[in-house]
Amino acid sequence: MEEPATLLADIQHRIATAAKVARRQADEVTLVAISKTHAAERIAPLIAAGQRVFGENRVQEAEAKWPALRERHEGIALHLVGQLQSNKAEDAVALFDCIHSLNRASLVAALAKAMDKAGRQVPCFVQVNIGAEEQKGGCAIADLPLLLAEARAAQIPLAGLMCVPPLELEPAPFFALLAKLADDHGLTGLSMGMSDDFDTAVTLGATHVRVGSALFGARG
Ligand SMILES: *Cc1c(COP(=O)(O)O)cnc(C)c1O
Interval 203-220: pLDDT, tens: 999 999 999 999 998 776
Q: Residue 212 C-alpha to ligand 1 middle, in angstroms? A: 6
Q: Measured from the CB, is residue 209 less than 6 Å from ligand 1?
A: no
Q: Residue 153 C-alpha to ligand 1 middle, in angstroms? A: 30
> Is 199 a residue whose pLDDT tops 90?
yes
Query: What pLDDT, on the 0 to 100 scale, is given for residue 3?
Result: 84
C-alpha span between 195 and 214 (Å, rounded)? 5
> Which of 10, 32, 34 gets mutated to test ligand 1 (max ligand atoms within 8 A of its CB)?
34
Average pLDDT in the chain:
96
Q: Residue 193 C-alpha to ligand 1 middle, in angstroms? A: 9
Interval 23-32: pLDDT, tens: 999 999 999 9
Q: Grade residue 75 by pLDDT with cuts at 50, 70 and 90.
A: very high
For residue 164, the ligand 1 atom closest to its alpha carbon is 13
Q: Measured from the CB, is residue 84 less than 6 Å from ligand 1?
A: no
Helix 4-21 vs helix 40-48: crossing angle, to nearest 10: 60
Q: Grade residue 149 by pLDDT with cuts at 50, 70 and 90.
A: very high
> Which of 31, 98, 195, 210 gets mutated to test ligand 1 (max ligand atoms within 8 A of its CB)?
210
Domain boundaries, the chain: 4-216
For residue 36, the ligand 1 atom closest to its alpha carbon is 1
> Is 2 a residue whose pLDDT tops 80?
no
What is the value of pTM for the model shown? Answer: 0.97
Residue of 160, 169, 117, 163 lying closest to 137 (CA atoms): 163
Mean pLDDT of the region 169-198: 98
Is the dihedral angle over the CA atoms 16, 20, 22, 23 positive or is it negative? positive
Contact partners, residue 168, CB within 8 Å, separation at least 6? none
Q: Measured from the CB, is residue 215 less than 6 Å from ligand 1?
A: no
C-alpha span between 199 and 209 (Å, rounded)? 9
Query: What pLDDT, on the 0 to 100 scale, is given for residue 88?
Result: 98
Per DSSP (E only), the strands in the chain are 30-34, 53-56, 77-80, 98-102, 124-127, 158-162, 189-191, 208-211
> Is 135 a residue whose pLDDT tops 90?
no
Residue of 11, 40, 3 lying closest to 211 (CA atoms): 11
Query: What pLDDT, on the 0 to 100 scale, is given for residue 181?
Result: 98
| Residue 34 DSSP code | E
Centroid of chain to Cα 60 = 17
Q: Measured from the CB, is residue 79 less than 6 Å from ligand 1?
A: no
- Rounded to whole angstroms, what are the CA distances from 74 to 14, 51, 53, 77, 138? 26, 11, 11, 9, 32
> Is 136 a residue whose pLDDT tops 70?
yes
C-alpha span between 165 and 7 (Å, rounded)? 24
Q: Measured from the CB, is residue 139 less than 6 Å from ligand 1?
A: no
> Which of 2.160.20.60, 3.20.20.10, 3.40.50.720, 3.40.630.30 would CATH assign to domain 4-216?
3.20.20.10
185 in Cβ contact with 148 (< 8 Å): yes
> Which of 36, 57, 99 gets mutated to test ligand 1 (max ligand atoms within 8 A of its CB)?
57
Backbone torsion region of residue 61, taken as left when φ is above 0, otherwise alpha when ψ lies between -120 and 50, otherwise beta: alpha
